[in-house]
A and B are shown apart, each in its own frame.
Chain A
Amino acid sequence: MSDSVAVPSVTDVSGTGLPLRGNDIDTDQIIPARFLKVVTFDGLGQFAFFDQRYDEKDNPTDHPMNQPQYENATVLVVNSNFGCGSSREHAPQALMRWGIDAIIGESFAEIFAGNCLSLGIPTVTASAEAIVALQDWVEAHPTGDISVDIEEETISYGESTAIDATVDEGQRKALVEGIWDTTALMQSNQQAIETTASELPYIGGGKS
């Protein structure tokens, strides 16, 4: 058994933005199911938002991810209930492999946010108005940096704009302290795991 996986702390992320407008963007849109027929996550980046980036004749659309000014973006800016639907981790894996390091939005579906945390990708929330203002700003300043401070829960951009953000308390602690890889954390509690199991009637009770 090995618990020597190095888990970096993620205290802040900065980079240029990618605005992706719309509520309820589901994981089938982020990565259509036909691209899930793989036994590894490698190479999924090219299929992120595939059906919106290419029309039925495979011609590129004007989707933001196809626009050259956003090709090096690392901070995705979305609206509400982003990542709803299927629990497929392929969705954040595809975004991460495309180049996304952090996502800012009005709200996130919970399984999606949990999957992002497993990859060390912060999902930071701010008010609907602040998000729309940030999307507008990114469109006007595609080469401008956005700085997301996880620890202080702020987002700053432009000359001097700073907005209040929220990072779920557990997520913030996990990212800042570098304890977001839960396998090693949990494995160290072997004795407590066995105790809990032995007290469950359907596990321990009667059979031991």
Chain B
Amino acid sequence: MSEGTLYDTVWDAHRVTTLPNGQDQLFVGLHLIHEVTSPQAFSMLNERGMEVARPDLTLGTVDHIVPTDDRSRPYADDAAEEMMQALEANAEDAGIDLLDPTTGNQGIVHVVGPEQGLTQPGKTIVCGDSHTATHGAFGALAFGIGTSQIRDVLATGTIAMDKKAVRKVEVTGELGVAVTAKDVILEIIRRLGTDGGVGYVYEYAGEAIEALDMAGRMSLCNMSIEGGARAGYVNPDETTYEWLKTTEYFTENPDEFDRLRPYWESIRSNADAEYDDVITIDGGELEPVVTWGTTPEQGVGITEPIPKPTALQEDKQARARDAQTHIGVEPGETMEGYAVDVAFLGSCTNARLPDIRRAARVVEGKHVHEDVRALVVPGSQRVSAAAEAEGLRDVFVNAGFEWREPGCSMCLAMNDDQLVGDEVCASSSNRNFVGRQGSSSGRTVLMNPSMVAGAAITGEVTDVRDLSTDDDTVGSQPGVSA
């Protein structure tokens, strides 16, 4: 078993006891809730006559079902309105802060936690959403949980968990132009498979990871779950502290920053930490990765040929054949030139300010292809406001993109933002499952935000390196969201 890793240290610090069933009971430092997976948990709590144990460590937002266009209340969709009202009532009854759209702080749960400065190194963070792994970017242990577990956390402020093994995923070298954290994680999943991480937590390390800004680290950790890992994290460092320092939580309590910093530094994995597995990837070799199939592991470099199913592991061949039929691609071809109908720039994976900046560089001065419907759905109201202040909204709107209000939107299509029929979507989101974007015959091609922008402009999957000669530096953006 691992020893001396951040995972071990933070786990031990939060371990209340070992339960009779063999699981460890962990104290939860931050519980994030949203409208889709929490109402049933509050009902279960009420049925048992229990109260919320730690409303002070709980934060709510609304993201999954909120409309991204007309947000006047009541919402046009009765079901969405009912879920919103349930969350409002539950939050009020329990005394939980709710970042609703009237606050200017609403957004996707995995964007707002870090923005608020509440996502911190060495915390345990849980949320009824599999992409909670995102918060590991700060050196937190962050786990997606189900609704019965939400009940556990609401009732006790703790969670029962099994300890996993730790795999160090080391990415060496320097990423090339237009190669981002999204490409790194798609490559990791391609190599290890969507079930390669089962039984593990991933520690991301190496020069290429250390060089990532916080938004990049969040994109990376976000998709740990697509690789089957229970969580993913990056050890906190100066990049992490710079972000935290400029959040309101710490600008209003500067002493708190100084007080907590030694704790953050103390939890970093030791130099001689022991891992259950280590894999190394040369980051310098990577190019932008896009998916050709219906699972995130079915990815390929933009200039590489789509594999023949028979060239894959035997147990993956049938799935690959079905996927190639569904998507309508042939082995031997590249994904370049594959026509798209929709371009979606959004989701908890890639809707932060640097993502929007990168995409804006590609879009500036160009126009969306006439056959493409293109959407920017910023990750939060703060991201949206910051992007607008920089003139990025104008860049997109002038190019023919729709600029929407924040939410999960077309990533999972719980609101009206959906594919129609067999439309193809160039998407900065995280899942290309059949039906994921709202149409059972719809097709999703996952890629990084600048690649989405490129596809929007040309109307087909495009190697964005051929479109833009700018370097990839977009600056760090601690503090004001992103």
Partners in one complex: yes
Query: Contacts A177-B21, A179-B20, A183-B48: A87 and B144 contacting too (C-beta < 8 A)?
Result: yes
Q: What total of chain A residues lie within 8 Å of the partner, measured CB to CB?
A: 65
Question: Is there an interface contact between A180 and B21, defined as CB atoms closer than 8 Å?
Answer: yes
B-chain residues with CB within 8 Å of residue A179 when the two chains form the complex: 19-21
Docked CA distance A183–B47 (Å): 13
Binds B, one of A22-30, A144-152, A158-166: A22-30
How many contacts A-B (CB < 8 Å)? 220
Q: Which residue of A lies closest to B45 (CB)?
A: A183
Selected from A110, A119, A187, the residue in CB contact (under 8 A) with B156 is A187
Measured between alpha carbons, how far is A193 from B28 in the docked complex, in Å?
10
Q: Contacts A24-B295, A203-B29 hold; do A87 and B438 have CB atoms under 8 A apart?
A: no
Q: Are B151 and A183 in contact, with the CB atoms below 8 A? A: yes
The answer to whether A174 touches B21, judged by C-beta atoms less than 8 angstroms apart, is yes
Q: Give chain B nearest CB distance to A131 CB in angstroms.
A: 12
Cα A13 to Cα B14 in complex, Å, equals 36
Does A5 sit within 8 A of B, measured CB to CB? yes
Restricting to B142-160, which residues have a CB under 8 Å from any CB of A?
Answer: 144-149, 151-152, 155-160
The residue on A at minimum CB distance from B49 is A2
Residue in A closest to B256 when the chains form the complex, CB atoms: A206
Whether B65 sits at the interface, judged by CB under 8 Å, is yes
Is A51 engaged at the interface, CB distance under 8 Å to the other chain? yes
Report A82-93 CB contacts with B as 1/0, cut-off 8 Å: 001111111011
Closest residue of chain B to A5, judged by CB? B48
Nearest B residue (CB) for A115: B146
B198 touching A128 by the CB < 8 A rule? no
User: Is the CB of B27 closer than 8 A to any CB of chain A?
Assistant: yes
A140 contacts B by Cβ under 8 Å: no
0/1 interface trace, chain B 236-264, chain A, CB 8 Å (1 if under) = 00000000000000000000100110010
Question: Which residues does chain A contribute within 8 Å of B148, judged by CB atoms?
Answer: 89, 115, 118-119
Residue of B nearest to A26 (CB): B433
Given A37-B83, A111-B130, A199-B25 contact (CB < 8 Å)? no
Residues of chain B with a CB closer than 8 A to A107's CB: 195, 198
Shortest C-beta distance, B191 to chain A (Å), equals 16
* A–B Cβ pairs within 8 angstroms, 15 of them: A5-B48, A29-B434, A33-B436, A39-B39, A51-B435, A84-B195, A85-B431, A87-B128, A89-B37, A114-B149, A174-B22, A185-B20, A187-B156, A197-B157, A203-B27
